A = this chain, B = another copy of it.
């Protein structure tokens, strides 16, 4: 009985170790990003707001966007700490931007000519994870792009770092904290 208990404990421990083993850069297991091995961080939707923006991508894909940060990232944004400390994670949620006929009808009475645009559906969510050692080759940041919970392919993830390079003076982060 004791022996069975020990065996179960050993198996459980091994499973735990395997579950928590970080992926080496370049690996992907289906739920983490290629090249960087970044998974969707638990509870990120409840992180604090950094800023919002609007992007008309290639003049076609029309997106409302919000950037959220974990506590380490938010503290760094508020205090202007650069480079961002290890452990900082930024989530960028992108939704379609759609006109709201219902809102326009209501708002046209007090505010004639008003055009209201709301969120349609989720397009994707992107993450930047700061680990200055693990991701030394890409400015200390690991990148990830998920659509419907699945990471994009390697080719997509090869575009992340070059696209963020112009923001090098702000530690590769375009977003600034909204007042």
Report yes or no: B64 in contact with A53, Cβ–Cβ below 8 A: yes
Nearest Cβ on chain B to A116's Cβ, whole angstroms: 5
Report yes or no: A178 in contact with B119, Cβ–Cβ below 8 A: yes
Interface residues of A in 65-104 (CB under 8 A from B): 65-66, 68, 74, 93, 95, 97, 103
Report yes or no: B114 in contact with A58, Cβ–Cβ below 8 A: yes
Rounded to whole angstroms, the CA-CA distance of A93 and B106 in the bound complex is: 20
Report yes or no: B56 in contact with A54, Cβ–Cβ below 8 A: no
> Is A59 interfacial (CB-CB < 8 Å)?
yes
Report yes or no: A119 in contact with B51, Cβ–Cβ below 8 A: yes
Report yes or no: A117 in contact with B179, Cβ–Cβ below 8 A: no
Across-interface contacts of A30 in B (CB, < 8 A) = none
Rounded to whole angstroms, the CA-CA distance of A90 and B49 in the bound complex is: 14
> Is A29 interfacial (CB-CB < 8 Å)?
no
Copies per assembly: 2
Interface residues of A in 8-48 (CB under 8 A from B): 45-48
Rounded to whole angstroms, the CA-CA distance of A114 and B166 in the bound complex is: 16
Report yes or no: B110 in contact with A159, Cβ–Cβ below 8 A: yes
Report yes or no: B178 in contact with A115, Cβ–Cβ below 8 A: no
Nearest Cβ on chain B to A149's Cβ, whole angstroms: 12
Report yes or no: A163 in contact with B112, Cβ–Cβ below 8 A: no
Rounded to whole angstroms, the CA-CA distance of A166 and B58 in the bound complex is: 36
Q: List 22 A-B contacts (CB under 8 A).
A: A47-B48, A49-B49, A49-B68, A51-B118, A52-B66, A52-B119, A53-B64, A53-B116, A54-B54, A54-B116, A55-B114, A55-B115, A55-B117, A56-B116, A56-B117, A57-B114, A59-B114, A60-B113, A95-B179, A107-B163, A110-B159, A119-B179
